[in-house]
Each structure stands twice: as structure tokens, then as C-alpha cells.
Amino acid sequence: MSAANGKIAPIHVEIAENLAPASSPAGFKMFNRILDWITNERLQLINITDRINEIVRKSGIRDGIVHLQSLHTTTAVFINEWQDALLHDVRAFLEDLVRRESYFRHNDPTYSDCERKNADSHLRGMIMGQTLCLQVRNSAVLLGTWQSIILAEFDGPRSRSMSIQVSGV
Amino acid sequence: MSAANGKIAPIHVEIAENLAPASSPAGFKMFNRILDWITNERLQLINITDRINEIVRKSGIRDGIVHLQSLHTTTAVFINEWQDALLHDVRAFLEDLVRRESYFRHNDPTYSDCERKNADSHLRGMIMGQTLCLQVRNSAVLLGTWQSIILAEFDGPRSRSMSIQVSGV
Amino acid sequence: MSAANGKIAPIHVEIAENLAPASSPAGFKMFNRILDWITNERLQLINITDRINEIVRKSGIRDGIVHLQSLHTTTAVFINEWQDALLHDVRAFLEDLVRRESYFRHNDPTYSDCERKNADSHLRGMIMGQTLCLQVRNSAVLLGTWQSIILAEFDGPRSRSMSIQVSGV
């Protein structure tokens, strides 16, 4: 049930958009990649820290910014500690903050043609945010000891894409 | 009542700060603009996607970052699907998350000289955030199929300004 | 009790990581610093605007981006007005949004080895976010009249570090 208990095997499909970093003579470089995941739960948390670090290493950029942007309104990307018990609490908190069984116009055929009944997913994605900007230092994502980068699926199972941009020197 | 029902006619006043992008010989460029809106509801949602894309096109920057920063604590900028029924749910959710009629010291003359009684607006702005960073790819803002950029007014009617910075190559 | 009532005396320890900005011939520059604070309350709000502006001035960067990243999951950084009465409301709102006394697995020895019982701190940090990206204009952080940069401690007293990166021209 938890994202950390081994049940989740997201498939990472990396699409090579740029084979070489777009570098400028003066040292400013930019590097773009799309990462894909297949999720298998409605509300699922995925630790994407290693995948992001892999892209940062490939970029050849030593110091700068890595920008993550999930391309789906019913997902989010954020930081927290990756611990089983806490991930359980995170799921419970988000499910309680926006109750799936509440009345939403987005789920009501009178007002909406959305058949997924996913208003709760939209509101969770909106409040947590679909973008994250982190520093790159010494060719790695800068993270505190307990900080992991978490992709949250709020309307799975789905195929999900995230665009990653590394820029700097 | 909804931001999508045609009642809202935000006035966009673009202030040309830099007539030419501040380009460097090596290709790193930066482009800044201020956009203004006149809002006409207390809690109002405005789809600003087209305006942001217009600025990105003008910047001449092909790949990079566009940073949006609303200059007001009682506003927010975030991503969600732009659908009437869902926008109704977004408004209801934010109004419920922070109840205007709750007791707040900020609204209490004993503690505060604020005459707007807008503590709820401050808390909504704080939790949703006043900045948003998005990728620029191929001279356009990178957005998923259902992602729109939304400016939220939480204490209108007011005149509101957003600073937009495009940087990259 | 409030962060603005003079009881808080955060100790700012600036670590000079780079004595000179890492500049490129073409003008793109990057400047990194770590700031430290000793907090003295469990939930404490600290106005860090002046310290961030000091770093921006030192960077020698006129226009660009300043990126703030707190290195701790049980902290947050965000924008709001710095007013005593409102800060009281902010604290009350965050304490109510995540009730410390609720049951959390992260605080339960059956599920977790965390002895700090700080699940509430994690959830508050997660929802408010540990990163903030702001524009730099004319060698200062761009902020609206009522916007202050606030570091929130959610599990103090502790020693806390923030990494600040200024980039631009």
C-alpha cells in the first residue's frame, strides 16, 4: 500500500531529447530530458531522487538549477523524508485534506463532461504543485540529509511524464 | 461567478521595461516584463496562459525558464485545468480551507490596523504561493495538455501586477 | 510567542563558500552561500528578507534569479506580510491544518524509529515547501510592498541551514 514497501515498480522510460547539452561558449549550459513513469495506484508516491541525480550527472552541469515539471494537473512533485511510516501519514493527510467523496461539480454530469470523477486529484495536485526547482552543486542535486524528491500520482494508474531541465555552468 | 463564465474582463496593461532583451554574446538572454490586471471579484481566477506565452514569444528566448512573481501577498499563481465546473470546486475548496468568518487577529482592531479584514486572503495566498517557475521549450511555455496558468485574486477588486522574467538561450 | 515580538534572536552564520562569483566571460554569473540559523521555538517564523538582500548585493548580480532552499524537511520558506497579528494567524492556521495531537504512524514506535514525534512538522514543511525562487532586479530581491521572505521552523529548537543561489547577469 505504501510507496516504499516494494510493491511499486515504476517503469522509467527516458526519452533522449538532446543528445548533447546545448552549451554556449561562455559556459552557460542547458540540458533537457523527459522521464516517464507507469503508475499503478490511484494515490501513489514515487521516490525519483536517483533518477533526477542521474540526469544531472549526464548534463555535465556542475553548478546551477534543476527544474522539474510534471506535465499533468493530477500529479505533484515535492520534497519530504522517504520513510514508510511517514509516507503513510502523507497519504492519509492528503486524502483527508481533500475528501474524495465530497460533492464536486467537476464530478457531476450536470456540470462536467469529466468521466474520471477526479476533482479530488485536481485539488491535491493544485495545492502541492507540479513544479520544483532545486539547486545543483558539484554535479548533484543539493538535498539535505532527509530530503527526497517525491512524485505524487493522484489519479492513477496512468502513464506520467516529467520534463527536467538542468541549467548552469 | 466563475472566472470562466465570461463576466471577467481583466485589463492587461503591459509595461515595456526593456525594449530589447538583455542578451550576452554567448547566448544567455534575459527578458523582463510587468503585466497588470484589474480584478473585479473578491476571489477571482484568471487564466493568464496566453499572456505569458505572448511574453515568452517576444523575449526571443527558445529554451529556458519563465519565472512568474505576483507582487501581492493576497494573490497566488498556480497550475490547474481551466474548466468551469472545476474552477467552481477550486473556489469552494479555497474558501473552505480558510474560512473568511473565522476569528483572525489580523482582522481585529485590538491587534491590527488592517482595515481590509483580509486575513483569509493572506492565508490563501501563502498556502498557494505567489511565484511559479515553468520551462520554456521551442519559444513557448511548456505545459501539459490540461495545464493552464492561473492567477488567483484573493482580495479583489484590485489592481494587480505580476513580474515575468524569461531567461535562457 | 510571535516571531515579530522581539523574543527571537536568530544567529546568522554565513559561510563563505565562494569568495568570488563564478562569472563567465559573457556575463552569466552564479553565486552560492549557505546561511545558518539557531531557532528557539518549536514553530517559529523568521523574517529573512534582509539577509537574502545582503547576499544578492554581495553577488554582484544585477538581474536574475535568487533560489532559496532550506535543507530540512521540517522547515519551509514562503512569502507573506510581516505583521505581528497576521503572524499569529499564520501559526494558528498551520497548527490547525496539521494537528500535532492527531495519530501519525511516524510518531508510533510500532511503525517508526523516529523519536522526535514530528510528523506534524513534516506535513507542515511538505505543504508549505522548502524552496522559493524570486527575481533579482537592480541588485535587489524583487518584492511587492507587503511581501517579506519568511523561514518557518516547524520542529525547533534546531540549527538550520539554507542554501542560496543567485544567478543572472
Give C64-75 pLDDT, tens digit per residue.
999 999 999 999
Written as tens digits, the pLDDT of chain B (169 aa) is 344 433 444 444 444 444 344 444 458 999 999 999 999 999 999 999 999 999 999 999 999 999 999 999 999 999 999 999 999 999 999 999 999 999 999 999 999 999 999 999 999 999 999 999 999 999 999 999 999 999 999 999 999 999 999 999 9
Q: Which of B89, C165, B96, C70 is nearest to A65 (CA)?
A: C165
* Most C-contacting residue of A77, A82, A86 (CB-CB within 10 A), to test interface: A86
Residues of A in contact with C126 (CB under 8 A): 78-80, 90, 128
Please count the residue pairs, one from chain A and one from chain C, whose beta carbons lie less than 8 angstroms apart. 110
Residues of A in contact with B80 (CB under 8 A): 73, 122, 125-126
Residues of C in contact with A132 (CB under 8 A): 131
Per residue in C11-70, pLDDT tens?
Answer: 444 444 443 444 444 589 999 999 999 999 999 999 999 999 999 999 999 999 999 999
CB contact under 8 A, C86 and B131: no
Per residue in C126-163, pLDDT tens?
Answer: 999 999 999 999 999 999 999 999 999 999 999 999 99
Whole-angstrom Cα Rg for chain B: 17
Query: What pLDDT sits at residue C26?
Result: 54
Residues of B in contact with A167 (CB under 8 A): 64-65, 168
Whether pLDDT at C125 is above 50: yes
| A60 touches B at CB < 8 Å | no
Shortest distance between the Cα of C8 and any Cα of chain A, in A, equals 25
Stretch (H or E) spanning C51: helix C49-59
Shortest distance between the Cα of A26 and any Cα of chain C, in A, equals 6
CB contact under 8 A, A71 and B24: no
* A contact residues 18-37, partner C, Cβ 8 Å cutoff: 24-28
Q: Which of A92, A32, A68 is nearest to A151 (CA)?
A: A68
Residues of C in contact with B28 (CB under 8 A): 26-28, 169
B36 bridge partner residues:
B13, B161
Q: How far apart are CA B140 and CA C67, in angstroms?
A: 23
Nearest CB among B25, B104, B126 relative to C78 is that of B126
C67 bridge partner residues:
C133, C165
| A85 touches B at CB < 8 Å | no
Per residue in A100-132, pLDDT tens?
Answer: 999 999 999 999 999 999 999 999 999 999 999
B159 bridge partner residues:
B38
Nearest CB among C25, C73, C165 relative to A146 is that of C73
Cα→Cα distances B23→A22, A101, B30, B65, B132, Å: 17, 52, 6, 15, 23
| Percentage of residues of chain B with pLDDT beyond 70 | 85
Backbone dihedral angles phi then psi of residue A168, each to the nearest 5 degrees: 150, -145
Cell of C104: 501519525
Q: How far apart are CA C96 and CA B107, in angstroms?
A: 18
Whether pLDDT at A24 is above 80: no
Q: How far apart are CA C39 and CA C46, in angstroms?
A: 9
Count the alpha carbons within 13 Å of B26 in the hemisphere toward its beta carbon: 20
Question: Which chains lie within 8 Å of chain A at 3 or more CB pairs, if any?
Answer: B, C
- DSSP state for residue B106 in the 8-state scheme: G
* Most B-contacting residue of A68, A69, A115 (CB-CB within 10 A), to test interface: A69
CB contact under 8 A, B144 and A98: no
- DSSP state for residue B119 in the 8-state scheme: H
| A85 touches C at CB < 8 Å | yes
Give CB contacts under 8 A, 24+ apart, made by A114-121.
A114/B83, A114/B85, A114/B86, A116/A155, A118/A74, A118/A154, A118/A155, A119/B86, A119/B89, A120/A154, A121/A74, A121/A154, A121/A155
Q: Is the dihedral of CA C95, A83, A93, C47 positive or negative?
A: positive
Query: What pLDDT sits at residue A27?
Result: 84
Shortest distance between the Cα of A82 and any Cα of chain B, in A, equals 23
- DSSP state for residue C166 in the 8-state scheme: E
Query: What pLDDT sits at residue B27?
Result: 84
Query: What pLDDT sits at residue B26?
Result: 53
Shortest distance between the Cα of C73 and any Cα of chain B, in A, equals 17
Cell of A160: 506520467
Cell of A147: 530530503
Q: How far apart are CA B157 and CA B155, in angstroms?
A: 7
Query: What pLDDT sits at residue B67?
Result: 98
Query: What pLDDT sits at residue C11?
Result: 46
CB contact under 8 A, B143 and A105: no
ipTM: 0.87
Shortest distance between the Cα of A89 and any Cα of chain C, in A, equals 6
Write the secondary structure of B3-55 as one string of H (helix), E (strand) and C (coil).
CCCCCCCCCCEEECCCCCCEECCCCCEEEEEEEEEECCCCCEEEECHHHHHHH
Whether pLDDT at A5 is above 70: no
- DSSP state for residue C106 in the 8-state scheme: G
In A, minimum Cα distance to C73 occurs at A80
Going by pLDDT thresholds of 50, 70 and 90, the confidence category of residue A26 is: low
Q: How far apart are CA B134 and CA A66, in angstroms?
A: 11
Residues of B in contact with C25 (CB under 8 A): 26
